[in-house]
Structure 1
Amino acid sequence: MSSPKTDVFKNTPTDHKIHDLIKNRWSPRKFADTPVSDTDLQSLFEAGRWAASSSNLQPWNIVWGKKGSTAYDRIMKVLVEFNQGWAKNAPVLMLGVFDKKTPDGKDNFHALHDLGQFAANMSIQAQSMGIALHQMAGVKHEEALKEFKFPDTYHVATAIAAGYYGGEMSDLPEDLKGEEKKERQRKKQDEFIFNGDYVERAEVDQS
């Protein structure tokens, strides 16, 4: 397995100490030309496989394809136009899909969370291998459901572009080159962490 290249890391201004695999992970829109092997993909999927899920229902499903394959082209077709403009740089494309129903036909309100757990596990595993993942909401969800013949109880939640960190800035459309160079930012903890009742941010600022 390859190690992440230090020259592609972004500055991550953390307020507290976190693991380097989390600190150095980010979502590029350009990727190295290096192919992602089947063995590497199986490691990513195995990491996802062992994610936590409500009642161990494991409602996640992953559709994937390598560049040059029919599956890749079919996934590309169901991305929104904006994402098609840069996702073509990725050696691998995936779709994250979940079953909205439990086996006994009840609504599974936790399924989207569980798919997120799968993707988070896969993301950290990928980072340990020098592989970047860029997750996308910009998918033609209903079209993708039909394209890949999932039942109506399923939902195509995300797409994921995957490949080794690297690539050239010239691979990107002009309007995205600046986005690639931006420093990473996150909300401060006191905007979303509550040791008790929820408090609106405006009230926090006044205290």
Structure 2
Amino acid sequence: MGQPGATDTINTPEFFARLVRCDSEAVGILFREYAGAMMDFLLKTKRRHGLAEDGWGDAVQEVFVKFLSKPPDLDPSRKIGPLLMTMALNEARDRAKKERTRLKCEEAAKAERLRTAAGAEAVGARLAAAEDKTLVEGKLAQMSQPDRQALATFVQSGPNRHVAALAATTGTKPGAAQMRFQRAKDRWANVLGEGKEGKDNR
């Protein structure tokens, strides 16, 4: 703290009366005498208040701002130092709490934006899938019934069993079924190619 005897001058009924009147000169004296000790106190009690170090100075200043606007009740029989330390600690706690609340609100807002974006993306994907499905159905309608049957058998039975399944369904030999599927596949490629060229030329 400040010069020897300064606290004796501060801890008097006369000085307290000046503080009660929001005397700016008295508050300035109080600041010069105790601000450093209050910063040291916040360092020692940082686990109790949880405020980041860059906010300690503002917390200490806010205590003295209160003395300029609405000073606390002062007991002339008690030294003011412990009161200032308690006020600094409480102010630091309040600021730390507000900061945590602010961060939580920001995280919640960020999460909400992500959920909204994800929902919009899902809707877009569903619309794209519906558009693709409509396109495929339109292209299939251009194919003959035997070709559609061959392609459907491939989809349902898989690449290893589609020939046997098609032969069994149509009552033909595997070789004929293989040729039938190949023709259907070539025609399907041509139909899709026409659709792609149409899109590219738009």
TM-score interval w.r.t. the shorter chain?
under 0.3
Give the structure with higher Rg (CA).
2
The structure, 1 or 2, with the larger RCO (C-alpha pairs under 8 Å, 6+ apart) is 1
Greater per-residue strand proportion: 1
- Give the alignment's TM-score, normalised by structure 2: 0.24
TM-score using structure 1 length: 0.23
